[in-house]
Structure 1
Amino acid sequence: MTEPGNGRRVLQRAAVGLLLALSAGCRAEPPDGITVLVESPPDSLDDRFALTAIGQRIAQLLAPGLITFDDTSRPVPALAESFRALSPTVMEFTLRPGLTFHDGTALTAEDVKATYDGVRARALQSPRADRYEPIEQVEVVNDLTVRFHLRRPYTPLLAELSLSIVPAERAGPDGVALQAAHPVGAGAFRFESQPDEEHLTLVPFEGYYEGPPAIPRLYFRVVRDETTRVLELLKGRADLVTNAVSPAVLPLLRKEPGLRVLVKPGTGYAYLGFNLRSGPLADVRVRRAVCHLLDVKPVVEHKLHGLAEPATGMLPTTHWAYAPEPGCRYDPAEASRLLDEAGYPDPDGPGGQPRLTLSLKVSTDRFRKSVALVLQEQLARGGIAVEVRALEFGTLFNDIRRGNFEMVTLKWASVIEPDLMRGAYDSKNVPTAENHWGGLNRGALRDSELDALLEKASQVEPSERKALYTAAQERLDALLPYAPLWHESSVAVVSRRLEGFEPSAHGFLSSLAHARRVAP
Structure 2
Amino acid sequence: MSLLRRALWGLLLVVAAGCRSEPPPDGITVLVEAPPDSLDGRFALTAIGQRMVQLIAPGLLTFDDTSRPVPELAESFRALSPTLVEFTLRPGLTFHDGTALTSEDVKATYDGVRSKALQSPKVDRYAPVEEVEVVDDRTVRFHLRGAYAPLLAELSLSIIPAERAGLDGVALQASHPVGAGAFRFESQPDEEHLTLVPFEGYHLGPPAIPRLYFRVVRDETTRVLELLKGRADLVTNAVSPAVLPLLRKQPGLRVLVRPGTGYAYLGFNLRPGPLADVRVRQAVCHLLEVKPLAEHKFHGLAEPATSMIPATHWAYTPGEGCRYNPAEAARLLDEAGYGDPDGPGGLPRLRLSLKVSTDRFRKSVALVLQEQLARGGIAVEVRSLEFGTLFNDIRRGNFEMVTLKWASVIEPDLMRNVYHSSNVPTEENHWGGLNRGALMDPELDALLEEASQVELSERKAAYARVGARLEELLPYAPLWHESSVAVVSRRLEGFEPSAHNFISSLARARKVGP
TM-score normalised by L of structure 2: 0.90
Question: Does 2:57 align with 1:73?
Answer: no
Note the alpha carbon deviations across 1:103-134, whole angstroms, 9 max, x for none. Answer: 44332212211222233234444333333232
Deviates more, 1:190-199 or 1:62-71: 190-199
Aligned to 1:86: 80
1:247·1:305 contact (CA, 8 Å) conserved in 2?
A: yes
Measured at CA, do residues 311 and 212 of structure 1 come closer, stay the same or move farther in structure 2, by a change above 3 Å? same
Shift of 1:452: 0.9
Query: Partner letter of residue 506 of structure 1?
Result: H
Partner Cα separation in structure 2 for residue 475 and residue 167 of structure 1:
43
SS for the counterpart of 1:265 is strand
C-alpha change, 1:483 and 1:214, in structure 2 (3 Å) is same
8 Å CA contact 1:102, 1:205 repeated in 2: yes
SS of the residue aligned with 2:260? coil
Q: What does residue range 79-478 of structure 1 map to in structure 2 within 5 Å? A: 79-278=73-272, 280-339=274-333, 342=336, 350-354=344-348, 356-365=349-358, 366-391=360-385, 396-397=390-391, 400-401=394-395, 403=397, 405-431=399-425, 439-478=433-472
Q: Secondary structure at the match of 1:267?
A: strand
CA–CA distance in structure 1, aligned partners of residues 274 and 118 of structure 2: 45
Q: Deviation of residue 254 (structure 1)?
A: 1.3
Give how far 1:40 is off: 3.0
User: Structure 1 residues 115 and 16 mapped into 2: Cα distance closer, same or farther (>3 Å)?
Assistant: same
Distance 1:362 1:453, change over 3 A: same
Shift of 1:176: 4.0
Shift of 1:344: 5.2
- SS for the counterpart of 1:484 is strand
| In structure 2, distance between residues paired with 1:194 and 1:275 | 36
Asked whether 1:11 is paired with 2:3, we answer yes
Q: What is the RMSD computed on CA atoms of the aligned residues? A: 2.7
1:367 and 1:444 mapped to 2: Cα distance?
28
**Paired-residue identity, %:** 82
Provide structure 1 residue ranges, at least 5 long, that are not aligned to the other structure.
1-8
More moved, 330-339 vs 363-372: 330-339
Q: Sort the Cα spacing of 1:353 and 1:103 in 2 relative to 1 into closer, same or farther, 3 A.
A: closer
Greater displacement, 43-52 / 261-270? 43-52
Matched, 1:492 2:461: no
Higher mean alpha-carbon deviation, 69-78 vs 497-506, is at: 69-78
- Inter-partner Cα distance in structure 1 for 2:35 and 2:62: 23
Post-superposition offset of 1:413: 2.8
Please say if residues 356 and 382 of structure 2, whose CA atoms lie closer than 8 Å, have aligned partners that are also in contact: no
In structure 2, the CA distance between the partners of 1:150 and 1:231, relative to structure 1 (3 Å rule), is: same
Residues 282 and 185 of structure 1, relative CA distance in 2, 3 Å threshold: closer
Size of the alignment, in residue pairs?
Answer: 511
- Normalised by the length of structure 1, the TM-score is 0.89
Q: In terms of mean alpha carbon deviation, does 418-427 or 449-458 score higher?
A: 418-427
Q: Who is 1:21 aligned against?
A: 13
- Greater shift, 216-225 or 339-348, is seen at 339-348
- Residue 375 of structure 1 and its aligned partner are, at CA, apart by 1.4
- Inter-CA distance 11–91: structure 2 relative to 1 (3 Å threshold): same
Contact 1:134 / 1:150 at 8 angstroms: preserved in 2?
yes
- State the secondary structure of the residue aligned to 1:268: strand
Cα pair 2:109 2:160 within 8 Å, conserved = yes
Structure 2: give runs of 5+ residues left out of the alignment: none
Q: What is the CA distance between 1:280 and its match in structure 2?
A: 4.7
Instruction: State the alpha-carbon separation in 2 of the partners of residues 223 and 12 from structure 1.
Output: 16
* CA distance in structure 1 between the partners assigned to 2:195 and 2:345 by the alignment: 59
Helix, strand or coil at the partner of 2:88: strand
The answer to whether the 8 Å contact 1:82/1:95 transfers is: yes
Tell me whether 153-162 or 510-519 shows the greater mean CA deviation: 153-162
**Helix, strand or coil: the match of 2:352?**
strand
Match of 2:31 in 1: 37
Deviations 1:422-445 (A, max 9, x none): 222223334567666654333333
Distance in structure 2 (CA, Å) of the matches to 1:218 and 1:387: 40
Q: Which stretch of structure 1 is more off in the superposition, 452-461 or 394-403?
A: 394-403
Are the counterparts in 1 of residues 121 and 430 from structure 2 also a CA contact under 8 Å? no
Answer yes or no: is 1:47 the counterpart of 2:41.
Answer: yes
Task: Tell me whether 447-456 or 377-386 shows the greater mean CA deviation.
Answer: 377-386
**Per-residue deviation, 1:175:** 3.9
The superposition leaves residues 231-286 of structure 1 with CA deviations (integer Å, 9 ceiling, x where unpaired) of: 22111121111122233322211111100111222222221223444555444343
* In 2: Cα distance, 1:383 partner to 1:445 partner: 25
Contact 2:290 2:322 in 1 (8 A): no
